[in-house]
Chain A
Amino acid sequence: MGQKITIDPVTRVEGHGKVTLYVNNDGGIEQARFHIVEFRGFERFVQGRPFWEMPVLVQRLCGICPVSHHLAAAKAVDVIVGAGSGDELTPTAEKMRRLMHYGQIFQSHALHFFYLASPDLLFGIDADPAKRNVLYLAQENRDLAYRAILMRKFGQEIILATAGKKIHGTGAIPGGINKHLTIEERDRFLHGNPPFNIDNMIQWSLDTLEFFHQYEQKHRDFLLTYVNFPSNYLSLVRKDGAMDLYHGVLRAVDAEGQKILPDVDYHEYYKYIEEEVRSWSYMKFPYLKMLGQERGWYTVGPLARINTADFIDTPLAQKELELFRSFHGGKPCNHVMHTHWARLIEILHAAEKIKLLLEDPDLLSGELVREGNRQFEGVGLLEAPRGTLFHHYKINEYDQIVQANLIVSTTNNNQAMNNAVLQVAQRVFKGQKKVTEGMTNAIEVAIRAYNPCLSCATHALGQMPIDIEFVDVPR
């Protein structure tokens, strides 16, 4: 028998996971598994709590994209209070929430690309691990690090202005939102001193895409061959087929682009999606019911959204989508490393959307909340930075939660990430007698392309230890 290799913890991802590989004497992979090791039990312990707590309570399963959970829970609770879904809320409420959401997409994607993923691209997969991180990047290229910090900060400040706090805000309430945008807040984002304004953020998003194109030209084979396999893709799209990250209908396409889930009402998601439980991970394995466990798994997130959408309704991102589409011959892209490209297109799209919303007078005044007839069940879906997020609550006549179901973005990618781990491991370990750090990082690079949030995936507030050592005594 060969040897067991453990990568623990997987780093430069959010939360805690590990990889185990069983490698035979010839470097062949007997088994490859990406384990999620945390479990919290949200579905059970929210039972008995009042439903209106959900938007502030459940978002605490994550510190990276809490806005996603805040808004998905709020959308489910909107249904429960009889306010309806999406644009059935007041224009002010819907648009303030959208601004919050696009602010979050912007900050979360910037965080992932610059802080977590770019060191692999800039320094190389097998670079010195002591240098292969954003801290070294900041020493090498202070300007790029400064941009990364300000882009994330801009998104976080949008969240602060709409939700009240940068992390774990309270803006969305059952049936609406609890504030308007002030003129001062709007003007600061629209016309603030450079570089801190939206026009500059759009320009930096374009620059980041340009940076990617230059990288892509030099490393085309790497990006295309590193990890790729046919997959189904699932996301929300707007009713007319446009990319929509906040609201829409549920669509899935196969690896050839055929629609396998034809724009269905997401409130009935449970008719189409089921989850498999495997003994070796706390993260479940969702699949499309009609295709079954073997063939029904799918990918979500930026690559899925780029593959499912017919078009993007902002001009600069649409132009970039056309480039992406022509590069891939009009077919869905099955090259996992191009998820980075898709993510950067979404950063640009989010920035364009933020500008349009900031210019909309509905944010400054108008009705904040709608009411209606009480319902006893509510489903809320949206496209979180990492993919489709499902919240589902049932309540009793005392307004207490009696059942909750959460399918978190990263969970949807469980099978796809395991496939990616296996494919890279098979290639990298083949014929190798000795395991190097670069070989194990190669596997993590494939996982990082999905930008998994392992805290979210098991609804865990994962333990995130950081150590700091002094290298110099400040004066």
Chain B
Amino acid sequence: MSLLDIDERMLDLIEVVEFNKSPINDIKKFTRKCDIGLIEGGCCNSENVHVLKLFRESCKILVAVGECAIMGGLPAMRNGIPLKECIDEAYLNGITVHANVNKTVPNDPELPVLLDKVYPCSAVVKIDYSIPGCPPHADLLWATLYALVTGKETEIPYEVFKYD
């Protein structure tokens, strides 16, 4: 959603691109092969892996947007901790779950399987470009999209390019 911080430039963007599968419209399955795919977030569960592979197959250029997609980001803080401990803390040992005497934890077949660790997108598929930042600066997103759409290199000021 940090893409929306390009503000008025959004109106220029939609003049030249058409959004396919995305969270801001209701296209739930790819309707054609796309030129650019932007992907946020790392891979935490089987569903994330599935969607990422689908994006790789359906997009000519795949761009990892933000620290989570590039290197797992903050959720990867769980990588040094056994997954079971994370589950137990949230559903069995928390301050407001004392009534869970049956020790129920989410495990329904409708829920994707959690991965042992949080993986960066590049560990699963080939990533063509990465836009760093948490979140990336709106000007950096804009500059990258502009360069990809026009095929021209652009200057990126030092203060716009950061890994925070």
Q: Which of B15, B94, B112 has the most CB of A within 10 A?
A: B94
Confirm or deny: B30 has a beta carbon within 8 angstroms of a beta carbon on chain A: yes
Assuming A37-B111, A277-B97, A469-B34, is B150 touching A12 (CB within 8 A)?
Answer: no
Query: Chain A residues near B51 (CB, 8 Å)?
Result: 463, 465
A-B pairs with the 8 shortest C-beta distances?
A: A41-B86, A463-B41, A133-B25, A280-B108, A44-B89, A405-B95, A464-B40, A129-B26
Q: Are A468 and B110 in contact (CB under 8 A)?
A: no
Q: Are A468 and B34 in contact (CB under 8 A)?
A: yes
Q: Are A465 and B112 in contact (CB under 8 A)?
A: no
Q: Are B26 and A43 in contact (CB under 8 A)?
A: no
Q: Which chain A residue lies CB-closest to B51?
A: A465
Query: Chain A residues near B145 (CB, 8 Å)?
Result: 468
Contact with A along B15-34 (1 / 0, CB 8 A): 11111111111111010111
Contact with B along A392-414 (1 / 0, CB 8 A): 10000000000101010000000
B24 touches which one: A135, A168, A276 (CB < 8 A)? A135
Q: Are B20 and A282 in contact (CB under 8 A)?
A: no
Assuming A129-B27, A133-B26, A467-B30, is B41 touching A166 (CB within 8 A)?
Answer: no
Q: Are B37 and A280 in contact (CB under 8 A)?
A: no
> Roughly how many angstroms separate A116 CA and B24 CA in the complex, as a whole number?
7
Q: Which chain A residue lies CB-closest to B15?
A: A472
Q: Are B74 and A461 in contact (CB under 8 A)?
A: yes
Interface members, chain B 45-86 (any A CB < 8 Å):
45, 47-48, 51-52, 55, 58-59, 68-69, 73-75, 77-78, 81, 83, 85-86
Interface members, chain A 249-282 (any B CB < 8 Å):
270, 273-282
Q: Are B78 and A463 in contact (CB under 8 A)?
A: no
Contact with B along A199-236 (1 / 0, CB 8 A): 00000000000000000000000000000000000000
Q: Are A469 and B26 in contact (CB under 8 A)?
A: no
Q: Which chain A residue lies CB-closest to B72?
A: A461
Confirm or deny: A57 has a beta carbon within 8 angstroms of a beta carbon on chain B: yes
Query: Chain A residues near B78 (CB, 8 Å)?
Result: 40-41, 44-45
Q: Are A111 and B4 in contact (CB under 8 A)?
A: yes
Query: Chain B residues near A133 (CB, 8 Å)?
Result: 19, 24-26
Residues on A lying within 8 angstroms of B by beta carbon are 8-9, 11-14, 16, 18, 20, 33, 35, 37-41, 43-47, 57, 60, 63-64, 111, 115-116, 129-130, 132-135, 138-139, 142, 145-146, 149-150, 152-153, 156, 166-168, 270, 273-282, 284, 286, 293, 392, 403, 405, 407, 437, 441, 444, 460-472, 474
Q: Which chain A residue lies CB-closest to B41?
A: A463
Confirm or deny: B2 has a beta carbon within 8 angstroms of a beta carbon on chain A: yes
Query: Chain A residues near B14 (CB, 8 Å)?
Result: 135, 138-139
> Roughly how many angstroms separate A388 CA and B128 CA in the complex, as a whole number?
41
Confirm or deny: B123 has a beta carbon within 8 angstroms of a beta carbon on chain A: no
Instruction: List 11 contacting pairs A-B, 8 Å CB cutoff, sorted by A.
Output: A39-B114, A152-B7, A168-B164, A281-B108, A463-B43, A463-B48, A463-B51, A466-B23, A467-B38, A469-B17, A469-B33
Query: Chain A residues near B116 (CB, 8 Å)?
Result: none
Query: Chain B residues near A43 (CB, 8 Å)?
Result: 86, 89-90, 94
Interface size (B, Cβ < 8 Å)?
A: 85
Query: Chain A residues near B43 (CB, 8 Å)?
Result: 463
Q: Are B59 and A146 in contact (CB under 8 A)?
A: no
Q: Which chain B residue lies CB-closest to A394?
A: B95
Q: Which of A9, A38, A116 has the most CB of B within 10 A?
A: A38
Q: Are A38 and B44 in contact (CB under 8 A)?
A: yes
Confirm or deny: B134 has a beta carbon within 8 angstroms of a beta carbon on chain A: yes
Q: Are A11 and B106 in contact (CB under 8 A)?
A: no
Query: Chain B residues near A274 (CB, 8 Å)?
Result: 96-99
Q: Which of A152, A293, A403, A464 has the most CB of B within 10 A?
A: A464
> Roughly how many angstroms separate A138 CA and B10 CA in the complex, as a whole number?
9
Interface members, chain B 129-164 (any A CB < 8 Å):
134-135, 138, 145, 149-150, 164
A146 touches which one: B11, B37, B98 (CB < 8 A)? B11
> Roughly how many angstroms separate A465 CA and B39 CA in the complex, as a whole number?
4
Query: Chain B residues near A469 (CB, 8 Å)?
Result: 17-20, 32-36
